């Protein structure tokens, strides 16, 4: 080998050492749900998802039907919308997302995965989508619970670009579901502040609230009446076979909601936990 060839070989070897390592694809395994950890660039499988059976959800029939239908279309490779579930605290928003995923995933043979994305990890969403874009045998629901933005938080701009409008766009095998207590994902005082300080108030507000427009499916959740709340309790009592009659648990349930000052799915579940504990009955 000539001196010139040796020099070229050394240069090539040096360039190989400087080149970044080839990006490895995510290893998913067969789990149904995962949590995104951007610092490790990994998806950790969830052994047991904290969810309830979709048949136990009460007072949200319309929202349930729309969510399941949207999820079913997506799982079958048909057009589907990003979904924003907004409204009252404890009304069943996140429960519906997890239950709808479980119901549809059972229909499609386990090919639909649920990925939880923490709100503080929104800026890393483009990196996650780059990984998921190359996976052809599964489809993914990205789920961000309690999504909202405050103050000078600019992460919402990253989310806007990813949901719609980015140069690559959302991958065909990914849909984004989020829950929030706020319809426009931002507090009213933040929107009003933009209106009062901007050179063009209408354009400033439009920039802020347009994030929620990226969600094609809006599902509102509101506080339920007493009859619906008692139906929730009755469904839980029947499902978990708690040894107590309605005549016994009904006044207890009414007292519970009075002392809590609210009626919601979350409060109903808390009452059932209390009731099952008193009865010495595990909830499994």
> What pLDDT does residue 184 have?
63
Q: State residue 262's pLDDT score.
A: 85
> pLDDT, tens digit, for every residue of 88-98?
888 889 999 99
In the chain, which stretches have pLDDT less than 50?
A: 20-23, 191, 194-195, 198-199
The pLDDT score that the predictor gives to residue 66 is 96
The whole model's pTM is what? 0.79
Distance CA 57, CA 89 (A): 15
Averaged pLDDT of the chain:
83
Cα separation values, 194 from 112, 159, 186, Å: 40, 19, 11
Question: Which H or E element spans position 252?
Answer: helix 246-260
Q: Which of 104, 105, 106, 90 is nearest to 57 (CA)?
A: 90
pLDDT attached to residue 202? 53
What is residue 35's predicted lDDT score, i.e. its pLDDT? 95
């Amino acid at each position: 080998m000539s001196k010139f060839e040796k020099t070229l070989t050394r240069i090539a070897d040096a360039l190989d050492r400087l080149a970044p390592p080839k990006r490895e694809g995510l290893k998913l395994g067969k789990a149904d749900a995962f949590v995104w950890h951007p610092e490790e660039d990994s998806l950790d499988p969830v052994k047991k998802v904290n969810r309830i059976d979709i048949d136990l959800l009460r007072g949200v029939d319309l929202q349930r039907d729309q969510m399941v239908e949207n999820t079913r279309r997506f799982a079958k490779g048909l057009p589907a919308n990003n979904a924003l579930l907004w409204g009252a605290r404890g009304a069943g928003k996140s429960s519906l997302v997890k239950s709808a995923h479980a119901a549809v995933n059972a229909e499609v043979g386990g090919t639909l995965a649920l990925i939880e994305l923490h709100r503080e990890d929104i800026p890393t969403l483009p990196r996650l989508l780059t990984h998921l874009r190359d996976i052809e045998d599964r489809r993914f629901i990205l789920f961000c619970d309690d999504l909202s933005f405050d103050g000078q938080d600019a992460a919402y701009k990253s989310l806007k670009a990813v949901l719609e409008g980015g140069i690559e766009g959302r991958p065909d095998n990914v849909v984004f579901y989020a829950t929030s207590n706020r319809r426009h994902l931002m507090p009213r005082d933040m929107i009003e502040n933009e209106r009062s300080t901007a050179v063009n108030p209408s354009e400033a507000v439009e920039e802020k609230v347009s994030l929620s427009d990226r969600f094609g499916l809006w599902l509102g959740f509101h506080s339920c009446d007493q009859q619906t709340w008692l139906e929730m309790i009755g469904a839980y009592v029947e499902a978990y076979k708690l040894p107590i009659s309605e005549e016994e648990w009904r006044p207890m349930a009414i007292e519970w909601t009075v002392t809590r000052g609210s009626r919601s799915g979350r409060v109903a579940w808390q009452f059932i936990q209390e009731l099952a504990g008193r009865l010495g009955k595990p909830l499994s």
